[in-house]
A and B are shown apart, each in its own frame.
Chain A
Amino acid sequence: QTVVTQEPSFSVSPGGTATLTCGLSSGSVSSNHYPSWYQQTPGQAPRTLIYRTNTRSSGVPDRFSGSILGNKAALTITGAQADDESDYYCVLYMGSGILVFGGGTKLTVL
């Protein structure tokens, strides 16, 4: 069974750039996996950031962007702020009606 991989943790300095990735244990991620990205703070429901690889959800600042980098989907956060400190999840469409979330990345801003 293919696993969706994410960095368990990532640190970025305030004002810096963080690129979080979403890969596959076997194979490459492409736009045909329709990657989407979600932000979650403790005790809250997830918030949608990016869908269909690179489309920002309504109200999401343009500091957040999505792309395919090499063989992975990527979420780039520029000008990192303290309130960006959250868990970030990607989800991929694997075909045959099946979607799989990555394990999530805990982003620290310090």
Chain B
Amino acid sequence: EVQLVESGGGLVQPGGSLRLSCAASGFTFSSYWMHWVRQAPGKGLVWVSRINSDGSSTSYADSVKGRFTISRDNAKNTLYLQMNSLRAEDMAVYYCTRDLGPRGYSGYDYWGQGTLVTVSS
């Protein structure tokens, strides 16, 4: 059974940092593009970032570029999102998702349950 389990969310002050993790199981993690998608309270889904299967290619939404870094450890079957210089508008539930296709834009077939990041002083 495919599982994606996010962790690392919590309360952080504006300007602070946090690292999210997504533990994957039930599939060959190293074969899939992975993404982070977020959802602010009461708002819609927003694509954040993606990474290819071996970690050599990444892309980011303009709103997080230069502040967030996506990475993965295929030996540990884990996806990461390092978030620096956090702002109030980064407060959201962060979901990790698995891409369906070989090029990183086919859509998602599995979602984690999400981890909540709260940015507040």
User: CB of B107 within 8 A of chain A?
Assistant: yes
- Interface residues on chain B, number (Cβ under 8 Å): 26
Is A46's CB within 8 Å of the partner chain B? Answer: yes
Query: In the complex, how many residue pairs between chain A and chain B have their CB atoms under 8 Å apart?
Result: 67
Known: A100-B47, A101-B47, A104-B45. A48 touches B106 (CB 8 A): no
Contact B114 A52 (CB under 8 A): no
Number of interface residues of A (CB under 8 A): 27
Contact flags (1/0) for B41-63 with A, using CB distance below 8 Å? 00011110010000001110110
Q: Which of B46-92 contact A (CB under 8 A)?
A: 46-47, 50, 57-59, 61-62
Residues of A within 8 A of B (CB): 1, 34, 36, 38, 40, 45-48, 50-52, 57-58, 87, 89, 91, 93, 96-104
